[in-house]
Structure 1
Amino acid sequence: MTTARFPRTWRQTAVLVPLARALRLYYRPRVHGLEAVPADRPVIYVAKHPRTWLYLETILLGLVSFWDSGRVPFRPMEKRGTSLHRLPALGWVRRHVGTIEATEEAAVAALEGGESVLVFPGGARELYGPPDALDWKGRRGYARIAARAGVPVVPIAIAGADQQHPLRLPLGRGHSAWLPPVPLPVPLDYWFGAPLEPPATKDAAEVGAFADAVAAAVEALVARASAARRKPWSLT
């Protein structure tokens, strides 16, 4: 299986990157620990899924982690064909940010092609769950991918991402109304943890232990980031 290289097309350079630069003004991001992330080899970024539906903090993550730094670009992994993909503007964005299908085969192909991947193991559980709380029970695909591809895993925490919409109104059948509908301009702090090397073997027990270690590292980083988070209207 092959994956096309990250799409630095006119849609990226003329639309999405200017959008990301505007988001930098809106969210006033600070970056912590990026210097520890390898700049010349692919990695697997793993993070808690934000409690929001607009994808803005993820677009900004691309700007601060690789577009402006020269690091290896990441390909977000996502489920295809959701209701969000059918929305006029958001659907267009999701089709052109360089996502790949959320399968182990697609992730390994991207990594072997020299690109990083971004994984939100909690998915909808964390999208609709309590703020700043991991729910990765039974989700270990990221560890199997790391072992297969032989690449490190980098924990990420985005402080403030879960505070963009203070209220969520369940509408049934998996739909929700997020309030306010436009995310609040909360300060975002991007924290990158130390890279974790996967086991050299694909033994299920060792891969499982590695998955647990990664989850614990992300949970600790989320707690640290949350404790250090700036006040919503801070100017610093």
Structure 2
Amino acid sequence: MIYGAMKFSIGGSLKLAFRPWVEGLENVPAEGPAILASNHLSFSDSFFLPAVLDRKVTFIAKAEYFTSPGVKGRLTAAFFKGVGQLPVDRSGARGAGEAAIKAGIDVIESGGLFGIYPEGTRSPDGRLYRGKPGGLARVALATGAPVIPVAMIDTEKIQPPGKVVPKLMRPGIRIGKPLDFSRYHGMEGDRFILRSVTDEVMYEIMKLSGQEYVDIYATAAKRQIADAEKAEKAARAEAEKAEKAKKAQRPAA
């Protein structure tokens, strides 16, 4: 009930304002379980994809979105519940991963669509990063559900990280053909199989999105970018300090 009302209001508003284009809708089954594995460019990805589908898509979200105090906290919790997101405690990396996997399996076993971002976090620069094998592959192999690769197009231009007000432009969504990994069913404990499954899905996402692929995790790339910015800031500060010292040594005119 709540989801239907939120989808009608939010999904309708998004489609009216941004007019997203979509290819491959026929690849999403009208019923039955499936995993939607998407690249992750923007916070808004979790809203644009459900907006163009007739079925509910369940993503996972930080538990903090559901537990913040006050009126704003309650409104935020109601919003995320309404758009079909499940809370996951991310206080511990391992615990968060296991909770996400359990949530995904529960959604699949109930016959639903489970949405997941194999990169684990948003791309820091618009490129496609290495998929993490712990979530997507384990849910797929534990349940036998088909994996449908999805490419979000240009959503990072609509709402770049740190920007609150989105830019009005048309994003795109390409949905690929379902991938069948039932031959590996029950082998979710084999890390080599998990890696192989994840890489195959990421390759299909790359073909759909046209993104440059980077064979490192996005979290590592973010650390590299942060370290580079920190080093650049320190270098500028040192240069300014040296310039001030140089000016202080010049004789007065």
Same fold (TM over 0.5): yes
Contact 1:43–1:111, Cα closer than 8 Å, also in 2: yes
- What pairs with 1:20-59 in structure 2 (closer than 5 Å)? 20-52=11-43, 55=44, 57-59=45-47
Residues 81-114 of structure 1: per-residue CA shift (max 9 Å, x gap) = 2599675554432132221235111111110111
* Alignment RMSD: 2.5
Distance 1:223 1:198, change over 3 A: same
In structure 1, C-alpha distance between the alignment counterparts of 2:68 and 2:149, rounded to whole Å? 27
Identity of aligned residues (%): 24
Q: Secondary structure at the match of 1:200?
A: helix
Contact 2:6–2:82, Cα closer than 8 Å, also in 1: no
Residues 9-40 of structure 1: per-residue CA shift (max 9 Å, x gap) = 2x334444222111111111111011122222
* Max Rg structure: 2
**Structure 1 residues without counterparts, runs of 5 or longer:** 1-8, 68-72, 169-176, 225-236
Number of residue pairs the alignment of both structures matches: 193
Give 1:185's aligned residue. 168
Distance 1:14 1:104, change over 3 A: closer
Q: By how many angstroms is 1:218 displaced?
A: 0.9
Which stretch of structure 1 is more off in the superposition, 106-115 or 96-105?
Answer: 96-105
- What pairs with 1:42-121 in structure 2 (closer than 5 Å)? 42-52=33-43, 55=44, 57-67=45-55, 73-81=56-64, 88=73, 90-100=76-86, 101=88, 103-121=100-118
Q: By how many angstroms is 1:219 displaced?
A: 1.6
**Structure 2 residues without counterparts, runs of 5 or longer:** 89-98, 212-253
Q: Secondary structure at the match of 1:46?
A: strand
Q: By how many angstroms is 1:61 displaced?
A: 1.9
In structure 1, C-alpha distance between the alignment counterparts of 2:171 and 2:133, rounded to whole Å? 26
Give 2:242's aligned residue. none
Q: By how many angstroms is 1:200 displaced?
A: 2.5
Q: Secondary structure at the match of 2:209?
A: helix
Residues 122-154 of structure 1: per-residue CA shift (max 9 Å, x gap) = 23352xx002x1223544420111010001111
Give 2:229's aligned residue. none
1:143 and 2:137 equivalent? yes
Runs of 4 or more, structure 1, over 4 Å off, are 82-91
Give 2:206's aligned residue. 219
Flag the structure with higher helix content: 2
Taking structure 2 as the reference length, the TM-score comes to 0.67
Contact 1:125–1:135, Cα closer than 8 Å, also in 2: no
Alignment partner for residue 156 of structure 2, among 127, 152, 162? 162
Taking structure 1 as the reference length, the TM-score comes to 0.72
